[in-house]
Amino acid sequence: MAPKQLSVESIRRAKVLMVGAGGIGCELLKNLALSGFEDIHIIDMDTIEVSNLNRQFLFRQAHVGQSKAKVARDAVLRFRPNINITPYHDNVKDSHFDVDFFKQFNVVLNGLDNLDARQHVNRLCLAAEVPLVESGTTGFLGQVTVHIKGKTECYECHPKPAPKKYPVCTITSTPSKFIHCIVWAKELLFAKLFGDKTQDNDLNVHSSDASSSSENSEDVFERKKDEDIEDYGRRIFDHVFGYNIELALSKGDTWKNCSRPRPIYSKDTFPGKSIKHNGNINKNVSTDDTSSVSAMASLGIRSPQDVWSLMENSKVFIEALKLFFSRREKDIGSLTFDKDDQLAVEFVTAAANIRASSFGIPLHSIFEAKGIAGNIVHAVATTNAIIAGLIVIEAIKVLQNETENYRMTYCLEYPNRNMLLMPVEPYQSNKSCYVCSKMPLSLEVNTHRSKLRDFVEKIVEAKLGMHSPIIMHGSALLYEVGDDLEEDMVANYAANLEKVLYDLPSQVAGGTTLTVEDMQQELVCSVNIKHRDEFDEEKEPDGMVLDGWSQPPVEKREENCTVSNAGTSNSSGRVSKSYEGVEIIGVEEESEAVTPMKRKLPAIISHGQDAAASPAGSSIPPDTDNHGEVQVVDEDDDMVMLDGVPEVFDGDSSTYKKRKLV
């Protein structure tokens, strides 16, 4: 059979699994259908949102709220009615998508938007020995990589940047960037006012007339009986932006190397009692429709691109709070921040801007604030189309078993040596990878203090990414999860979780080896236990250290609290513009940057040095000291950080420099 005939036949007979039907997925499904693929399966748990319509072209306004996988199938069948497309409106991590399910496919094509799901699919493909073509885009940048067991590296062979973490002390006391103010407004203030009030919160809740030594003093955030909503809003305003700032200023040592903030009180920003509306407050809005409630509409503020003054931010803050209590009171106590909740975005933007003003940080528009708070990296439809085309090209190579022609291809924003698409030969697997090379891990832990629960939550789930773990010491089963467990077994494992490692039925001490297995992923890890008495609470907040698992580089602690709005710089001095997912931690972590492996690249991008040693302005991009497709930070955008991308920033996250590389 001629090569061309072989190619057509292999395409026609191939059974393909697509994971993700979003920005990349829509383009990919169309490409597969028009390229001759006749048996396509799609998994996507999401429903269509209005914000998807500008780039996910298979969807229309009438489809909002419907399953992405099912609507995409119906749309493609209109112009390719004779092919088979099977949609699954499910989570790819559901138990029925197991190794046996994956084994039926010739190739798996990923268009996912989060690290956890990507790792899960990677492990299932390894266990099923099915080729995986991975992809991602962010703005004008994109990449496609091929992962085949025994032939190339797996998706987890090299570390991926974790969500950015900020210490509570920085968020609550010494913010220096606007994102610090956003985190404070979203994770602390919004959660305290409108979320679960039983949850711990690092905001100071005691008023100025409460005794500082009294733990039972009145919570200032509690609204008094029959208290006017605006009076309550002003009281909250004065407490968080006035009294708390004055309290912070009283701690003189904090401000030796920092710019001192200024307290802001409501009487200084808008002295009048009531806020005048534009006369059109919710006239045409049903009292049952809370989705359209907006402080901006009430105040007659129109453009989301404008940066509000301090007075405007103060008015929006009070108005948004009033609307929450008057129009959405039944939701208070159970709310969490949602980037698609207009009123929540308005409140967080106003609160963040007022706090930024207090600390001398530049203010931002609600459009910019929403992007930061929602971790949104805006997608470009053209990039998605390019990447989807490259995925199909690599999938055809896989089906043809053209191993020598596999390529990792990067899509660049600016030409590098007259090239916008940069192909790189796939790398060999990392011999230290615990996923594909089965390298044992080592855990330093105080076995007399740490509980089995700590090991499960901080190591097995958080770091190893296992969802259905089994933990064994020799032949002794210490922990297991599953729907088919008997009640006495469930009770026994629950009791084990609360025991320190040394006191478990099968004693875990220094020198012990634990076996950790995920039945769904068919992944088995060996963890060698090393007892250690003490840990640095700042640098090692988990109270345990895992070796052999590659932790991404962590930003160094800011020794001087110089107020600026600069981007975050990594260990090599480069600066990243992107806003990562944010998690608040009790202390700041410090660690040495992971030194990347040297890799031989094609002449078109060879740089002859470690990425960590690469100077700013080289062809190695910011925040990619390790090779990596990394975690997508927003469910609406298929985003990934790349290496080999000529992208340079000047140290200010709001200013992007276009620089032609030679």
- Tell me the binding residues for Zn(2+): 154, 157, 433, 436
- The packing angle between helices 3-13 and 381-399, to 10°, is 110
- Give whole-number Cα distances, 329 to 321, 324, 333, 335, 348, in Å: 10, 6, 9, 10, 18
- Identify any residues that bridge with 42 across adjacent strands, giving them in sequence order: 18, 87
Among all chains, which residue has been given the structure tokens 């919710």? 282
CA 74 to chain centroid: 31
Per-residue burial over 357-368, b if 16 or more Cβ lie within 10 Å, else e, is bbbebebbbbeb
- Helix (H) or strand (E) holding 19, with range, is strand 15-19
Whether the CB-CB separation of 127 and 154 falls below 8 Å is answered with: no
* Cβ pair 545, 463 in contact under 8 A: no
Tell me the sheet residues that pair with 444. 530, 545
Q: Is 519 left (phi over 0), alpha (psi -120 to 50) or beta?
A: alpha
Contact 520/95 with Cβ under 8 angstroms?
yes
* CA within 13 Å, CB half, 590: 8
User: Distance (Å, rounded) from C-alpha 138 to C-alpha 113?
Assistant: 11
């913010």: which residue's tokens?
175
Alpha helices, DSSP H, located in 78-167: 99-103, 115-128
Other Cβ atoms less than 10 A from the Cβ of 403: the count is 13
Instruction: For the sheet with 513-518, list strands across it.
Output: 476-480, 469-473, 513-518, 523-531, 441-445, 544-547
List the catalytic residue out of 169, 411, 525, 561: 169
Residues sharing a CB contact under 8 Å with residue 600, sequence separation 6 or more, in sequence order: 606
**Residue 561: active-site member:** no
Encoded tokens for 493: 């494992």
- Residue 119 has φ and ψ, to the nearest 5°, of -65, -40
Which residues belong to the annotated binding site for ATP?
20-25, 44, 52-55, 68, 113-118
Which residue, 538, 535, 527, 530, is CA-closest to 591? 538
Active-site residue set = 169
